[in-house]
Structure 1
Amino acid sequence: MGAKERTATFAAYKDLARRCEQRDPELMRHVSTSDTARDLDRLRQAVGDPQLTYLGISYGTILAATYANLFPDKVRAMVVDGNWDPQAWTNHGSGDDARLTSFIRLRSDWPLSPDRYRGPWNRPTAHPILVIGNAYDPSTPESAARAMARELADARLLTLNGYAHTALLNPSSCIQAHESRYLIDGVLPPPWTTCQEQDAPPFATPRPSGGIATGGGGLAGTTT
């Protein structure tokens, strides 16, 4: 995303926030990650699960960390993939707007809920959390995954030596095998485990579209 696209995106979200606040200011007081985490626990209760099994990517990692610290005894298994640094997300617990990355700058234009969660992030959970980070994720860098693993009270970091945003959207059989063992049986990968490759490169090889590129010569695709 270039500067022109970023400016347009920020302007659109500022306008959306302004219109939402004008339309229903009382509702906007309850649009926060902590509110969503409480909704998530209501869903857990509604389906009758004694504890939560959850997989979250990108913003869903902050939702997971918030849930884990509001309801630490309700964590059965939790995978967080494409992580944000919780301290950066909350500007180190400050009441000021966080302004560290493009996404966080965009989020800071949304009206702030008085009930937003600022930490702590290290309340002991009933079971450990699996943290996944792509080594070359342009949106949520591996350093943020390491920070998430440090902040949580009981977490195991699993690294993918791969590209693009999240392992879920850029699959690795190695990552999926570790996730399945953890989500089903509660078995974590060994410490410092790194999966070495994705199942497919992040950028597909262009397919020939005609002419010489197809091996048919300059008259390829013509009729006689």
Structure 2
Amino acid sequence: MSTEAVARDLDVMREAVGDRQLTYVGFSYGTLLGATYANIFPHRSRALVLDGNVDPQLRLTNGAQYDRERARGFEIALDAMLKRCDSVGAERCAFAGDARKKFDNIRESLRKGSTTLPGGTQVTLTGLVGRTASNLYSPTTFKALTAWLQSIHAAQNPSAASAVQSVVDVPVLNNLGGRADVRVLPETPYTSDDSYYAVNCIDKPFSRSNRNWAQTADRWERESRTFGRYQAASDLLTCPTWPARNPDRWIGPWNRHTKNPIVVVGNYYDPATQYLFSERMAKQLGNARLISVDAFGHCILGDSAGADAAVTRYLVDLTAPANGQVFQPNAQPF
């Protein structure tokens, strides 16, 4: 289940279909798989595109710090979303009007106890953080998310109730039911995450004990007030008890030179793999070009005509885009 093992399987698949070299597009975790392949098999790498990038060196050498920085990425995306909400106004974003302060007040109030919405639904701190994290993956859900936040604000502040619009319910799903990283095809309906811990606990090194977990979670929560504890309650809590003691895993080098540059694509406000990770990926690879999109959400290909055209030219004709280009998404939230 290690990424190195899967990269070697990928090379067997390349050979089985008769390709002399690999042409590959990887999203999210798939960027680690692509980077690993490029460094094990640089001479077999034809055209590789990595969208929504991890920081491979950090992820494979310090799992706790990697996840700590992931929490910061969610905070960056949330703050940008709240600022954008205020900038477009209440007609387009129901939560506009000092949205940052309102969100923080909601969160701190929920630390003390749940809030009851007019329909009787109970909102808890866990629900707030989980739904917000889930919806930051997909900017098309921002209008519904902010309407829901406004309904909580109104319930906690009855004088604001008259401003509440009808709330479209957005279900809380793990990573949007598996669809946030890549669109699931009809013939592959399986969307569960059973493999998540197998892959991550083999790849990412953690302490072999979680006896200090509570103190670490408290520290992360002070740094990343909304998402610090949420992020700590995943790999950091689970992986110390994972039974594989000596896993095979690729820990570098990451800078082996490929004939054609690898194209690295990063969103400015990607919550799950913050933009800094894409910058680091491009620097760590031996031959890479970084293109950026001024967009929200996790991964972008398919939703930015400019980036799509640049990547298509590269995949088909091996014409790599100029380093440092910045594109826009097809649609902005709100």
User: Normalization by structure 1: what TM-score?
Assistant: 0.69
- RCO greater where, 1 or 2, for CA within 8 Å and sep 6 or more? 2
Deviation, 1:87, is: 1.5
8 Å CA contact retained: 1:89, 1:104? no
> Which deviates more from structure 2 when the two are superposed, residues 121-130 or residues 102-111?
102-111
Deviations 1:104-138 (A, max 9, x none): 64784555452111111011113210000000101
Which residue of 2 is the match for residue 47 of structure 1? 17
> Is residue 2:47 matched to residue 1:81?
no
Counterpart-to-counterpart distance in 2, 1:42 and 1:134 = 32
Deviations 1:11-51 (A, max 9, x none): xxxxxxxxxxxxxxxxxxxx110010011000000000000
Which residue of 2 is the match for residue 37 of structure 1? 7
Q: Name which of 33, 38, 42 aligns with 1:68.
A: 38
> Is residue 2:259 matched to residue 1:135?
no
Which residue of 2 is the match for residue 199 of structure 1? 330
Letter in 1 for 2:293: L
Which of the pair is proportionally richer in helix?
A: 2
- Provide closer, same or farther for how the CA distance between residues 126 and 138 of structure 1 changes in structure 2, counting only shifts above 3 A: same
Counterpart-to-counterpart distance in 2, 1:86 and 1:58 = 11
8 Å CA contact retained: 1:74, 1:126? no
Counterpart-to-counterpart distance in 1, 2:289 and 2:265 = 8
- Provide closer, same or farther for how the CA distance between residues 167 and 95 of structure 1 changes in structure 2, counting only shifts above 3 A: closer
> Which deviates more from structure 2 when the two are superposed, residues 135-144 or residues 101-110?
101-110
- Provide closer, same or farther for how the CA distance between residues 188 and 58 of structure 1 changes in structure 2, counting only shifts above 3 A: same
> Is residue 2:257 matched to residue 1:124?
yes
Which residue of 1 is the match for residue 308 of structure 2? 176
Q: Cα RMSD over matched residues? A: 2.6
Counterpart-to-counterpart distance in 2, 1:55 and 1:95 = 23
Counterpart-to-counterpart distance in 2, 1:107 and 1:50 = 40
Which residue of 2 is the match for residue 150 of structure 1? 283
- Provide closer, same or farther for how the CA distance between residues 85 and 159 of structure 1 changes in structure 2, counting only shifts above 3 A: same
Which residue of 1 is the match for residue 103 of structure 2? none
Letter in 2 for 1:194: V
Counterpart-to-counterpart distance in 1, 2:27 and 2:236 = 19
Which residue of 2 is the match for residue 57 of structure 1? 27
> Is residue 2:301 matched to residue 1:163?
no
> Is residue 2:296 matched to residue 1:187?
no
8 Å CA contact retained: 2:59, 2:204? no
Counterpart-to-counterpart distance in 2, 1:158 and 1:187 = 14
Counterpart-to-counterpart distance in 1, 2:305 and 2:238 = 33
- Provide closer, same or farther for how the CA distance between residues 136 and 54 of structure 1 changes in structure 2, counting only shifts above 3 A: same
Letter in 1 for 2:25: L
- Provide closer, same or farther for how the CA distance between residues 92 and 72 of structure 1 changes in structure 2, counting only shifts above 3 A: farther
- Provide closer, same or farther for how the CA distance between residues 78 and 84 of structure 1 changes in structure 2, counting only shifts above 3 A: same
Counterpart-to-counterpart distance in 2, 1:47 and 1:121 = 27
User: Normalization by structure 2: what TM-score?
Assistant: 0.47
- Provide closer, same or farther for how the CA distance between residues 96 and 191 of structure 1 changes in structure 2, counting only shifts above 3 A: closer
8 Å CA contact retained: 2:295, 2:329? yes
Counterpart-to-counterpart distance in 2, 1:107 and 1:134 = 29
Deviation, 1:189, is: 1.4
Aligned residues: 171
